[in-house]
Structure 1
Amino acid sequence: MRKLIAPIRDKIPQILFIFLFLLIQVYCDLTLPQYTADIVNIGIQNTNFQFIIDTGLVMLLMVAISALATIGVSYFSSRVASGYAKDLRKIIYSKVLRFSNHELNNISRSSLITRTTNDVNQIQGVLGFVFTTLIFAPLLGVGSIIKVFELQTNLSWIILVNFVIIIILLAVVMVKVMPYFRITQEIIDKINKTAREILIGIPVIKAFVRQDYEEDKFQKVNQDFYDVNIYVFKKILMLLPLMTLIMNLMIVLILYFGAYDAVNSGILTGDIIAFIQYATLIVTSFLMIGGFFIMLPRIIVSGRRISEVLNTELTITDGELTEISQNPTIEFRDVSYKYPGSEKETLKNINFCLKPGKTTAIIGGTGSGKSTILNLIPRLQDPSSGEILIDGKNIKNYNLKSLRNKISFTPQKAILFQGDVQSNMQIGKNDASEEEIRKALELAQVDFVENLSEEVLQGGSNFSGGQKQRLSIARAIIGHHEFYLFDDCFSALDMNTERKIKNNLKDLKDSSILIVSQRISTIRDADEILVIDNGEIVDSGTHEELVENCDIYREIAKIQIDYMEALS
């Protein structure tokens, strides 16, 4: 909970201004009924028109001051609430960026989007309500109660009865709707998840004519959201007419019993009017507080969901070492890996070494664990057992930023960000010059970009698969790194383009290169090829050695060579 409160600390000066304006507003509002009573009791009773005019002018001044104070409260409360929400989103986003794949599997991406947007918006709205209403209401209510007792009437029991009835009504509504606020947020997660899945899968949905099925799927979760909201707001909105009825009955009772006191000279007419106004202010203040308690379950649910993100324990944390030597080696020593919740090991007893100036390749069947090996090197995941060593030291002992600055990782799926070509290239090196960018584009055979300011749409949707892969490779080689990891990122390239890029990668001669691929043509020139099957390295060597000694590799080579001969 402390992490939720932290962003508000630097806004204390603005909060103090809110309190100051609230006190001014409450003071002005509490004096108005007394002035009204004075006008009736003194001005009208004695036909003193000058007193009525003077008191009326003072009342207008109080109203003007109250209005200005209200504007001040609204201004500063909106700034505090919006600033808090902005800072909280920043904290959440910063935490999510440190998540490993394990944390991202525990809290889905669609849920993270909902928590960063909808849940934060809920807290922002309630925070604004707290400053403009929740603090104001008790001050107004307590002040009105004090004023009521100063009038010294026998009508206070009417307010007490109404107060008890209101408390009972609010309690009943809260008990009824509280569980549904959590359900509402969970359904919003489902809506985001379903919509995201449908939008990503539009080509497949159209290809298999599944539009009706997906529409029904979305309609079901949409209908669930509708039904829950209708139920909740039915219960909440019932309060408004009931509260109006209670307030009007209270006024009727005050007038009825107050009339007897007035006839018997127990109370002045102006005091009855003031009593009604103060009683209305008391009931209104409790209604405001009741409104907060109705909103409270929602903010509790949102707060818990955000706290879950902020309090998530990171499985991958920084080490103390910040210095990594030039031309280091990476050694896998008896490394095994098992995905959380899985009983089967994805990798078993992996042993190999990446050396400076050498190219190592990994080949194997789908699901054999090739990409998992690459994910372990920049610590996107950590081994379940065994060690990965850099110059004999466990990579867990190194600072993550220092470690990842030494590594260039090109993932299996080419990912481009909205912007332009230059901004995407500078992800590989922040201060890359135009000359460096063009050199990298040339090495990656990017011959389709004429201008570095050429627009890149979200996800690189304005480029083909092969173009995105070449841009992704260019981004990877733009800066100097000790290790270059290529995860099957040549799959969409034709043989000729792939050969040219591979020849250009020889310029990275001082670095270690690790290539994962399904194609023999991609890896046959590697200094060492690792053949992996069911998470284990079954053989290693050069292309010629494996063709001669490894049955699995020989079978892969034979199939691909026969296929290429059939095409020629």
Structure 2
Amino acid sequence: MKSLLKIFKSKIPQLIIIFLLLIVQAYCDLALPSYTANIVDIGIQNADINYIMDMGFLMIIMVSVSVFATIGISYFSSRVSSGYAKDLRKVVYTKVLRFSNHELNQISRSSLITRSTNDINQVQNVLGLMLMVLFFAPILGIGSIIKAFEIGGNLSWIILVTFLVVLILLLIITIDVLPYFKLTQEIIDKMNKTAREILIGIPVIKAFVRQDYEQKKFGKVNKDFLDINLYVFSRIFIMIPTMTLFLNLMIVMILYFGAYDAIAGNILTGDIIAFIQYSTQIVFSFILLGGIMIILPRFLVSARRVAEVLNMELSITDGEITSVDNNPTIEFKNVGYSYPGSEKETLKDINFKLMPGKTTAIIGGTGSGKSTILNLIPRLQDVTEGEILINDVNIKNLNLKTLRDRISFTPQKAILFQGTVKSNMQTGKSDATDEEIRNALNMAQVDFVDDIEEEVSQGGSNFSGGQKQRLSIARAIIGRHDFYLFDDCFSALDMNTEAIVKNNLDKIAKDSSILFVSQRISTIKDADEIIVLDNGRIIDKGTHDDLIDRCDVYSEIALSQMEGSLCHQ
């Protein structure tokens, strides 16, 4: 929880103001019953209208001050809670952006969405209530107890009995519902995950006519969420009428036993009225604290889930080196990689080098580790054996920004962001001019965009698969980089378009290194060096013609895709 408290430092001045206003409000509320007692015992008893008017005027002043203090408390509490939630979201978002694939596997994406929205909302809502109640209720309650004991010591046992009954009730309800708050947040995670899966898989669901099945699956999760919330809140709402019942019983008991004390002359009538008001304030304070105690477990569960994100230890951290020499090389030396929790090695003894002005390609069967190699270069994942060197410097010693500024990575799945074509291109180079953007679009054969201000829907849903691939390629080549990594991002392009784009890429390869990962021979056959992977190992490397003659795995792939007469072209 320390990570959550650090964010509170900037809110300390506002918290001090809230605390001072709470003291003012409590003082005013505690003074009112005494004025009421004086009016009854002195003003009415002596028929002194002037005294009654003076006390009434003081009560109006106290009420006015209390109202303004309450407004101030609400204002500053809202600012503190909403400002804290804003800062917390920013910190969580910044931390999540630093997550590697390893951390994203530990906390699912659906859970991260819940923690960044619902859990932080819970923290914000409860925090606002706590600032108004958590300090005010004890001040009011303790002050009322002192005042009540000063007025009617013989009736104090009634308050004690009521307090014990209320306390026992609160403990029973809290113990009963506490386990369900964590379960509620976990079900929200599951609901988000199910909804996300259904929304992404709509085409498949429709194609296989699985709408009824998916509706039932989501309906079950939704029903579980409903049942738990009904159980929890039915228990919580029992507290309100029960507390009201005990409060009214307490007032009846005070009037009953107070009447005997008044007849015996042990207490004045006005003091009985003041005692009732103070007793009511005491019970009201405990009701407020009870309400906080009921929602506090959910607050703690949500806060703990957010803290898990903030306290997550990053597996990939910054190095200290912030510069790289020009025309760098990347070398894989005895690199191995195993996914966390897996006993099987995904990569083993990988050795090759990327040189400026050279094009390298990697090909292999499904699951041979091609994409994993690309992920290791910008340190989206870290090697578990061996090392990757840039100019003989281990990339783990490089600052992540320094490393990634040198690399342009186009992932296998074309990802576009909501905005415009221009804003998506500027993801590759933030200060790209309109001319640079149009030049990159032309190189990637993006002939379907008339205006760079054309809208891009979320996920690029207003473009086809091939169009999204060409836009992602244009975004990759718009900036000046030393290494261009393309992870099977030509798969949706026709042969003619692919040939033109590759020819254009040769223009940027004079001082840079290009690495292709592909399943298509047509994409890689012109590379200076082709690496053949099989079961995570390099089984051969060389040019297209060399591999056709001596590598059975490569020749089988080539023969399955191309006419035999074209194999040596």
Q: The TM-score by the shorter chain falls in which range?
A: over 0.9
Residues 42 and 48 of structure 1 are in contact (CA less than 8 Å); yes or no, is this contact kept in structure 2? Answer: yes
Q: CA deviation at 1:404?
A: 0.3
Residues 21 and 72 of structure 2 are in contact (CA less than 8 Å); yes or no, is this contact kept in structure 1? Answer: yes
SS of corresponding position for 1:155: helix
Deviation digits for residues 472-508 of structure 1 (CA, Å, limit 9, x no counterpart): 0000000100000000000001111111100000111
Residues 336 and 385 of structure 1 are in contact (CA less than 8 Å); yes or no, is this contact kept in structure 2? Answer: yes
Residues 187 and 225 of structure 1 are in contact (CA less than 8 Å); yes or no, is this contact kept in structure 2? Answer: yes
Q: What residue in structure 2 maps to residue 125 of structure 1?
A: 125
- Matches of 1:209 and 1:547, distance apart in 2: 45
Residues 40 and 270 of structure 1 are in contact (CA less than 8 Å); yes or no, is this contact kept in structure 2? Answer: yes
- Matches of 1:234 and 1:389, distance apart in 2: 62
Q: What residue in structure 2 maps to residue 396 of structure 1?
A: 396
- Matches of 2:556 and 2:23, distance apart in 1: 84
How many residues were matched structurally?
Answer: 565
Q: CA deviation at 1:53?
A: 2.1
Alignment of 1:43-192 (within 5 A): 43-192=43-192
- Matches of 2:466 and 2:38, distance apart in 1: 85
Corresponding letter in the other structure for 2:103: E
Deviation digits for residues 224-265 of structure 1 (CA, Å, limit 9, x no counterpart): 111111111111111111111110110000000000011111
- Matches of 2:61 and 2:164, distance apart in 1: 36
SS of corresponding position for 2:389: strand
Of 66-75 and 123-132, the range deviating more from structure 2: 123-132
Deviation digits for residues 336-386 of structure 1 (CA, Å, limit 9, x no counterpart): 111111111111111110000000001111111100000000000011101
Corresponding letter in the other structure for 2:192: N
Q: CA deviation at 1:563?
A: 10
Q: What residue in structure 2 maps to residue 345 of structure 1?
A: 345
Q: Are positions 1:533 and 2:534 aligned together?
A: yes
Q: 1:199–1:365: structure 2 CA closer, same or farther, 3 Å change rule? A: same
Normalising to structure 2: TM-score of the pair? 0.98
Runs (4+) of structure 1 exceeding 4 A deviation are none
Q: What residue in structure 2 maps to residue 220 of structure 1?
A: 220
Q: What residue in structure 1 maps to residue 560 of structure 2?
A: 559
Q: What residue in structure 2 maps to residue 336 of structure 1?
A: 336
- Matches of 1:401 and 1:58, distance apart in 2: 66
Corresponding letter in the other structure for 2:387: E
SS of corresponding position for 1:498: helix
Deviation digits for residues 66-91 of structure 1 (CA, Å, limit 9, x no counterpart): 11110000000000000001111111
Superposed CA RMSD in Å reads 1.1
Q: What residue in structure 2 maps to residue 476 of structure 1?
A: 476
Alignment of 1:142-541 (within 5 A): 142-508=142-508, 509-541=510-542
SS of corresponding position for 2:46: coil
Corresponding letter in the other structure for 1:525: D
Deviation digits for residues 2-29 of structure 1 (CA, Å, limit 9, x no counterpart): 1100111111111111112111111111
Corresponding letter in the other structure for 1:165: V
SS of corresponding position for 1:484: strand
Q: 1:227–1:563: structure 2 CA closer, same or farther, 3 Å change rule? A: farther
Residues 152 and 271 of structure 2 are in contact (CA less than 8 Å); yes or no, is this contact kept in structure 1? Answer: no
Corresponding letter in the other structure for 2:107: I
- Matches of 1:364 and 1:182, distance apart in 2: 45
SS of corresponding position for 1:409: strand
Of 288-297 and 200-209, the range deviating more from structure 2: 288-297
Q: CA deviation at 1:564?
A: 11
- Matches of 2:95 and 2:168, distance apart in 1: 42
Corresponding letter in the other structure for 2:527: A
Q: CA deviation at 1:50?
A: 2.1
Segments of 5+ residues of structure 2 without an aligned counterpart are none
Corresponding letter in the other structure for 1:528: E
Normalising to structure 1: TM-score of the pair? 0.98
Corresponding letter in the other structure for 2:80: V
Corresponding letter in the other structure for 1:484: Y
Q: CA deviation at 1:152?
A: 4.2
Q: CA deviation at 1:396?
A: 0.6
- Matches of 2:36 and 2:387, distance apart in 1: 82
- Matches of 2:562 and 2:390, distance apart in 1: 37
Q: What residue in structure 2 maps to residue 18 of structure 1?
A: 18
Segments of 5+ residues of structure 1 without an aligned counterpart are none
SS of corresponding position for 2:453: coil
Q: CA deviation at 1:121?
A: 1.0
- Matches of 1:96 and 1:402, distance apart in 2: 20
Corresponding letter in the other structure for 1:43: G
- Matches of 1:507 and 1:39, distance apart in 2: 95
SS of corresponding position for 1:362: strand
- Matches of 1:175 and 1:76, distance apart in 2: 32
Q: Percent identity?
A: 69
- Matches of 1:330 and 1:390, distance apart in 2: 5
Deviation digits for residues 500-555 of structure 1 (CA, Å, limit 9, x no counterpart): 10000011111000000111111111000011111111111101111111111111
SS of corresponding position for 1:514: strand
SS of corresponding position for 1:467: helix
Residues 152 and 275 of structure 2 are in contact (CA less than 8 Å); yes or no, is this contact kept in structure 1? Answer: no
- Matches of 1:151 and 1:256, distance apart in 2: 16
Corresponding letter in the other structure for 1:179: P
Corresponding letter in the other structure for 2:29: D
- Matches of 2:310 and 2:61, distance apart in 1: 49
Corresponding letter in the other structure for 2:533: I
SS of corresponding position for 1:238: helix
Residues 153 and 267 of structure 1 are in contact (CA less than 8 Å); yes or no, is this contact kept in structure 2? Answer: no
